[in-house]
Structure 1
Amino acid sequence: MNGNVDIVLEDDRWQAFGLEETALRVAGAVLTHLGLDPALFLTVVMGCDDARIAELNGEFRDKAKPTNVLSWPSEERASEYAGEAPALPDPGTTDDPAELGDIAIAWETCLREAEEQGKSQADHVTHLLVHGLLHLLGYDHVEDEDAELMEETERQILATLGIADPYWVADAQLG
């Protein structure tokens, strides 16, 4: 089952890519994996270019440079304890789904990273959307224990989508 996703396309290349379909599939996979009904939650995903995400990154993180994905949770959901999964959000209704937050993803950076890592753009974007949605749900990677939990959760979700472990690919290329 797919989740509810509002799409904002600031770069037309995301339309041809199929960002809306990918985001719907990711939202469904992430929420289902966590035991949540995707129909009861809403996420906003903006497909933009590097210039726009650099602007957002500067405004919200004081890093005025492009990045691959940014996320803004609608509320703080992180656990107090390193390595512990965040509390699950309260669901909305089918008529009024609970808002999880917003995600922005940048075309040029995603394409470049996929090429550098020898991955398809579709697989890389899917991974980044899973990553961004997990941030909306309170996961983070600041502490080592939290990073391990988040990466393992990403691996499990990506496997349900038929996508190989992105961390193994990156680790293998480093060695």
Structure 2
Amino acid sequence: MTTGPHPYRAAADRARILAALARQRDAHPETMRRLQEIAASLSAAADLLTAHQSSTPGNDIPSAAKAELENADILADDHPATRFFADFTRYVTEPITGRRPPVPDPLNPLTKARTNREDTLRKRLERLHNNTPTATQDPAAWLTAVFAVWTDWMDLADEVYDEYKNAFPHP
């Protein structure tokens, strides 16, 4: 769990930061529409989290905010071109729930060069996940760095997919 700002405020801040990241991306017009929808859901979740006043400590996420975050995850999952990965909103909810951010599944590339890139990206993401002072003190810089690694990971995943498709063509 994040120390520092109130957990709901920290989560709201993270949602706003991710909404801004979605709005800053440059993509095909259809993908841009999806990114705008993701950003709108994140902004709505941020507003709901900001308004939430928990009288007792806990890890409950207001149902309306949870629905907005789930919508953002579904939009991202349905539109991989947005380059938002599965369960990315766990970065928003982590200050409240204490649940660790997601880690990528192994890609198991066929080439040594891609295996090395996978290892490097995994280590970078692990270092960022463990950098709780930056996550708390400068969440914008931290999330920007985290999502840059995830974008590189998704690019590598596409390469590995093509690698397997070319190595084992379907008849």
TM (normalized to structure 2)? 0.31
Name the larger-Rg structure.
2
More strand by share: 1
TM (normalized to structure 1)? 0.31
